[in-house]
Amino acid sequence: MRISIKIKHSIFLALLLSLTVFALSILVLKGVKNEHVMQYEEILASYGKTANLYINERYFSKGLDSYKQFLEENGKELADYINRLINRPVIIYDIDGNIVGSTLPAKSETETSGAISYALEGKIAYMVEGNLLYYFTPLIIRNEQAGVIQISYSLKQYEDYYNKIRHIFIVVGTAVLIFGFIVAVMYFNSFSNGILKLKNYSDIIKNGNYQIPVLKRRDELGELSEGIYYMSCRIRDNIENMRQEERKLKLAVEKLSKLEKEQKRFIGNITHEFKTPLTSIKAYLDLISMYPEDANLLEQAREVIGKETLRLESMVDKVLHLSALEKYDFELNKEKVEISELIETICSNMKGRMEKLGIRLEMQLEKAYVLADRESMNHILVNVLDNAIKYNTDQGRIFVRCFKQGDNVHIEVENTGGYIPEEERKKIFEPFYRLDKNRSRQTGGTGLGLALVKELVIKQGGTIEVKDSDKVKTTFLIVFPLDENTCTRDENGNII
């Protein structure tokens, strides 16, 4: 049987408040009763002390030796005087337990032999009968017990006071119980309502709706509501991510299919590229075996075989290097490299080749530092400049520019000629892709240089692209991040 949390709270609060009020009433009334008992004991003890003092005073004033004779002769008088003194009924007993003086009528005397016997042993005794409390204290004369003094004390006033207090507690306790129950129910209902709302929110989430509000509370329920809200957002995001991953998986399958085709094309290309120089070498070897004494043929064969062998060696090195870059994450020996100085050194080494081909070199270099692998940077710039030479026009021009822009350094290599159509500008960075295969064979190109350059640039955290190309000139743009330790910034945080 399902019981609502509100009902459980109400029952619990009613029982708790009832038990609290009942326990508090019992404890307070018991405390009041104990306090009255202590007061009675103190009052009656003072009465007993007063009676003893008066009797001893009268005894010594009489000058008698026998206190028993003294009590028999003066008992009635002593009892009357003490009664007037303390305004309480008094009975005096001798050492044998006989009454020698009393202010009570004979018919109203109560059976008190047990209490008297106890008091005759030198102890204080109490006895309650109806609304009366009987107090028995030893009578001491000359440091010896001479009898017992009985003092009667009415409890009616105490009983009336106790009953009045109990009535007040019943009325006030009932009112407090009702008021406390109403306030507590109203207070705890705010928690119950919050819990019920959270339960409803969980049902909403269970039904697939993750748009739920947040409880405006500054307590644990508010924090729990925020937690459920963020959890619903995470579930929604996770489901969306799963859907995205599903789409990505489908895309990955498509890419894998495409990659398989590209792999087959790559194998076909590399087979063809290796087969072409090998065919040339084999052909010349066959001619040499047929015409071993032809000096011109031997010289021509030596030149072609040497050229094709170098081409094969270069192709193998580049294939291995490119494969290693794609497959392994080599640790780069990064150091501070000054770009303009490196470009000047490379251009100086290649200047003789440019002059031989009648190519004019122009440079506009700004000093800039990058954190990079020097060997890889050298390989990148050499390859790009080598292509600028290979695919240049007769009596052409190469313009190398280096400048800082934002947090990066830009390197532009511009050469005359070498037009690259816009649709081909991304493909030239693919392995074995060549725009003009005949010219590539004439220049010794393998179609791997730019693919290798791109991988090296990416490893350095940079980018490379064909910035511009037309019938007149072609410009390659390489971008690397500047070394932060060498940058000077202005007040706005911009690099100067």
pLDDT of residue 17: 78
Which CATH number fits the domain 5-167, given the four candidates 3.40.50.300, 3.30.450.20, 3.40.50.450, 3.40.640.10? Answer: 3.30.450.20
Q: Which of 93, 100, 86, 10 is nearest to 49 (CA)?
A: 86
What are the sequence ranges of the domains in the chain? 5-167, 215-328, 330-486
Q: Which residues contact 336 (CB under 8 A, 6 or more apart)?
A: 369, 370, 371, 483, 485, 486
Superfamily classification of domain 330-486: Histidine kinase-like ATPase, C-terminal domain (3.30.565.10)
Q: Which of 102, 97, 98, 99 is nearest to 121 (CA)?
A: 97
pLDDT of residue 162: 77
Fold of 215-328: Helix Hairpins (1.10.287)
3-state secondary structure of 488: coil
pLDDT of residue 411: 95
pLDDT of residue 476: 93
Q: How far apart are CA 449 and CA 114, in angstroms?
A: 127
Taking the whole predicted model, whether its pTM rises above 0.75 is answered as no
Q: Which residues contact 134 (CB under 8 A, 6 or more apart)?
A: 110, 112, 115, 126, 127, 128, 150, 151, 152, 153
pLDDT of residue 108: 54
Q: How far apart are CA 439 and CA 378, in angstroms?
A: 25
pLDDT of residue 318: 55
Intervals of the chain under pLDDT 50: 272, 327-329, 439-444
What's the one-letter identity of residue 45?
A: A
